[in-house]
């Protein structure tokens, strides 16, 4: 008889959520997690809570307050002189937030009866795993079903070998003990822009080197154009089409050799942040023991229901196809747990919201105008600027806009794109509307409280049919 009904390998936002939902549905559940806090204490939460989503947002929030006091408080009548940043205190705050949340997951495991298997798990067979603890002790456990939720890790590139001293990945960039004078960021994606923004606000001179010639190519072009303009105005030195050739650490920092417009150049910095994406964590699974199918990049191959090629073995989150986003992983975990319990559950992967936590924030759901044009879909769109929003003006946050794209024939909303204050919260309304196949007219006829930022969404919906009131 199996020890458990379900074992989840990985305790990140996909794994721990899947484990809790399985337990709620009456399955005897265990979750194996290898993460160590400060390399000594076992903790849950995976990358997201320990060195990803949560700590980065803590630093973004702290640095945002610092920049507000330094640059924007005076227009509110607030006198703030000799403002300084205690990086140690900022990092301690971040650590407290992370610790509180990771311990909270442990409490949720106890509440729901989930067994925590502390250590690194690998397959022995399709129904058995081996767990190697941090103390070197080994154990085994069996289950009727096993869910792989091992997440992802920063991608490494040959021209920029990470040493976590002068050349760091996202993990290292979250732990600087002081503000570097000059930083080179390799990659202008979500991670590079967020971390670059943190240290720029605190006083670093930040140069972002992006190999692509287009900025934020996955976002709507109008959003990407506006974001590039705003971020450059803030002080991020973003250089598109810059191909990094080599990096070399030295006692004073590092040098980056790169090519831009056919010309070889060199950049001297105190720190290099390598932020060129993430790769799935599958190396330690012993996948070959069960003949688990992986693609050439290491992703676990699954069908629409997260089933692998091995019976009773499933995979969710960053380790499978689709966007590497915590909320996508969590929802996959819930849906899979419910299917294992015999229930019906569904996820529309076309309606997974994206967020970049710069300031202003950038968020979107659905398709971009360029994607729809390439697909031959006839569309209409409406845009409303936050400059015309009373609430945004009162907040001093007039940058950005809301853009709604609808089908020209049916008026169904196909995409909503936002750049502006609290865009991460505003996009939620769009997700719900699109889940119910809302038309732009539906949003236009829905009453929005005044004064709120969400009125910009209302006005953008009105603008789809050329009847915006305030612009």
Catalytic site positions: 450
What length is written for the chain?
471
DSSP assignment of 348-399 equals -GGG--EEE-SSSEEEEEE--HHHHHHTT--EEEEEEEGGG-HHHHHHT---
Q: How far is Cα 187 from Cα 210, in angstroms, rounded to an integer?
A: 5
Task: Count Cβ atoms below 10 Å from residue 282 Cβ, excluding itself.
Answer: 20
Q: How far is Cα 279 from Cα 298, in angstroms, rounded to an integer?
A: 8
Cis peptide before 451 (omega within 30 of 0): yes
Q: Which helix (H) or strand (E) element contains residue 258?
A: strand 253-260
257: three-class secondary structure by DSSP: strand
> C-alpha 284: how far from its chain's center?
24
DSSP 141: E
Q: Which two tokens stand for residue 228?
A: 């590039």
Q: Express the helix, strand and coil content of the chain in percent, nearest 5 each.
A: 35, 30, 35
Cis peptide before 179 (omega within 30 of 0): no
DSSP 157: B
Please report, for residues 223, 371, 403, 414, the alpha-carbon distance to residue 385 in angstroms, rounded to integers and kept in the order given.
12, 23, 9, 20
Question: Which distant-in-sequence residues (6+ apart) come within 8 Å of 125 by Cβ?
Answer: 289, 290
Q: Which of 352, 296, 320, 310 is nearest to 10 (CA)?
A: 320
Q: How far is Cα 20 from Cα 324, in angstroms, rounded to an integer?
A: 21
Q: Which two tokens stand for residue 79?
A: 């006198």
Q: Are strands 138-148 and 4-9 parallel, antiparallel or unpaired?
A: parallel
On whether the CB atoms of residues 348 and 388 are closer than 8 A, the answer is no
Q: How far is Cα 127 from Cα 141, in angstroms, rounded to an integer?
A: 8
17: three-class secondary structure by DSSP: helix
63: three-class secondary structure by DSSP: helix
Q: How far is Cα 318 from Cα 321, in angstroms, rounded to an integer?
A: 7
Residue with structure tokens 């845009």? Answer: 383
Cα of first residue to Cα of last residue in the chain, in angstroms, is 68
């Amino acid at each position: 008889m199996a020890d458990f009904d379900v074992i989840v390998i990985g305790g990140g936002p996909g794994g721990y959520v899947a484990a809790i939902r399985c337990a709620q549905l009456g399955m005897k559940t265990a979750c194996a997690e290898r993460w160590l806090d400060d390399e000594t204490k076992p903790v849950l939460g995976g990358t997201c809570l320990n060195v990803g989503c949560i700590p980065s947002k803590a630093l973004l929030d702290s640095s945002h307050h610092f920049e507000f006091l330094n640059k924007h408080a005076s227009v509110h009548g607030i006198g703030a002189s000799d403002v300084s940043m205690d990086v140690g205190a900022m990092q301690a705050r971040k650590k407290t937030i992370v610790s509180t949340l990771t311990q909270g997951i442990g409490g949720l495991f106890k509440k729901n009866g989930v067994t925590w298997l502390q250590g690194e798990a690998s397959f022995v067979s399709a129904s058995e795993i081996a767990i190697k603890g941090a103390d070197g002790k080994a154990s085994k456990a069996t289950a009727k079903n096993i869910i792989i939720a091992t997440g992802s890790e920063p991608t490494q590139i040959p021209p920029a070998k990470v040493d976590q001293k002068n050349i760091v990945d996202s993990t290292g960039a979250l732990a600087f003990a002081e503000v570097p004078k000059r930083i080179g960021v390799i990659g202008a994606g979500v991670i590079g822009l967020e971390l670059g923004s943190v240290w720029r606000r605190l006083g670093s001179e930040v140069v972002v080197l992006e190999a692509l010639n287009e900025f934020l190519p996955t976002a709507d072009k109008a959003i990407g154009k506006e974001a590039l303009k705003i971020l450059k105005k803030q002080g991020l030195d973003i250089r598109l089409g810059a191909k990094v050739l080599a990096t070399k650490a030295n006692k004073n920092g590092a040098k980056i050799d790169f090519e831009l417009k056919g010309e070889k150049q060199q950049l001297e910095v105190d720190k290099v942040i390598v932020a060129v994406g993430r790769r799935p964590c599958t190396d330690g699974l012993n996948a070959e023991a069960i003949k688990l199918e992986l693609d050439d990049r290491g992703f676990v191959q699954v069908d629409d229901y997260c089933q692998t090629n091995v019976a009773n073995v499933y995979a969710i989150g960053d380790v499978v196809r689709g966007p590497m986003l915590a909320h996508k992983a969590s929802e996959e975990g819930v849906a899979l747990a419910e299917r294992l319990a015999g229930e019906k559950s569904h996820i529309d992967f076309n309606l997974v919201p994206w967020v970049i936590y710069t300031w202003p924030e950038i968020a979107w759901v659905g398709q971009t105008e360029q994607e729809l044009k390439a697909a031959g879909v006839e569309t209409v769109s409406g845009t409303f600027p936050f400059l015309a929003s009373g609430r945004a003006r009162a907040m001093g946050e007039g940058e950005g806009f809301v853009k709604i794209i609808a089908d020209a024939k049916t008026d169904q909303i196909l995409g909503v794109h936002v750049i502006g204050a609290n865009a991460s919260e505003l996009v939620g309304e769009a997700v719900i509307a699109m889940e119910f196949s809302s038309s732009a007219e539906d949003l236009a006829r829905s009453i929005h409280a005044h004064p709120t930022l969400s009125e910009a969404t209302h006005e953008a919906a009105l603008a789809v049919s050329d009847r915006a009131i305030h612009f």
